[in-house]
Amino acid sequence: MISDPGRPGRLLRQGRILEGITLGWNVVGLAVLAIAAVAARSVALAGFGLDSLIEIGASTVVLWELSGTGPDRQRRALRLIGGAFLALAAYLIIQTVIVLATGYHPGHSPLGIGWTAVTAAAMFALAAGKARTGQALGNPVLISEGRVTLVDGILAVAVLAGLALNAAAGWWWADPLAALVIVGYALREEREIFGQRPSSAAVRDSGDGPGSCGQR
């Protein structure tokens, strides 16, 4: 429960700042990843650009939700985030099958290695901030989008590992295999949102308890 009358407003501003940073980072990332993917002809880097696009959509959804009130808007926002998880999992499955089936060997990408390393650190920090702010607000949408950001960071690590192993040892198949870990995580989170498990149950109750988003 939030006892300080001014604290909800501060937390909302903090949530918007975190989402704004995430949005800006991924917009820049689209350009960087496009250049790196074309230069190295890397399917993994091209796919990571698609993940950045999904994260842009999720951040936009949360900024929209934080500007309004009520559990109905939270439900709609959570469904859109759940759809982003499903799209991410579908993309990774398709990418993994194509890369392994064709035996496609990407080139080396110092730019891709550098960007994914920095992105992983940034996404983990942003995900932690969203989790703390969302818990303090009692906002399940911000908490769930923080999981999207966490998945983005994990995917950055997987792509980084694949790029590094390809560059150092010629293990071209490392990044599509690592992507399968992300598939499992993304599908689990999508089921939590659409399957009425604890994270989605919070939405049903969000308008009823103290400290909820519906009580701003």
Burial class of residue 35 in the structure, from the number of CB atoms within 10 Å of its CB (0-12 exposed, 13-18 middle, 19+ buried): middle
CA distance linking residue 62 with residue 80, whole number of Å = 10
Q: State the Cα–Cα distance between residues 95 and 101, nearest whole angstrom.
A: 10
Give the pLDDT mean for 6-32.
92
pLDDT of residue 208: 43
CA distance 1 to 10: 15
More confident residue, 214 or 144: 144
| pLDDT (0 to 100) of residue 3 | 61
Mean pLDDT of the residues in the chain: 80
Residue 174: what pLDDT? 76
Residue 1: band (very low, low, confident or very high) from pLDDT cuts 50, 70, 90: very low
Side chain identity, residue 142: L
Confidence (pTM): 0.73
Task: Write the DSSP symbol of residue 215.
Answer: G
Q: Name, in order, each residue with C-beta under 8 angstroms of 155's C-beta and a sequence gap of 6 or more.
A: 48, 51, 92, 179, 182
Q: Is it the case that residue 54 has pLDDT exceeding 70?
A: yes
User: Domain map of the chain by residue range?
Assistant: 15-215
pLDDT at site 60: 83
Using a 10 angstrom Cβ sphere, with 0-12 exposed, 13-18 middle and 19 or more buried, the burial of residue 44 is buried
Confidence of residue 100 (pLDDT cuts 50, 70, 90): confident
Q: What are phi and psi of 36, to 5 degrees?
A: -65, -40
The confidence score (pLDDT) of residue 205 equals 42
pLDDT mean over 100-124: 90
Q: Which residue has the higher pLDDT, 133 or 91?
A: 133
Kindly tell me if the per-residue pLDDT of 212 is higher than 50: no
Task: Please check the confidence at residue 163 and state whether its pLDDT lies above 80.
Answer: yes
Give the residue carrying structure tokens 């499955």: 93
118: pLDDT confidence band, cut at 50, 70 and 90?
A: very high
SS3 content of the chain, % helix, strand, coil (to 5): 85, 0, 15
For range 132-139, the mean pLDDT: 91
Q: Which is more confident, 120 or 177?
A: 120
Q: Rounded CA gap, 201 and 129, in Å?
A: 22
How much is the pLDDT for 69? 55
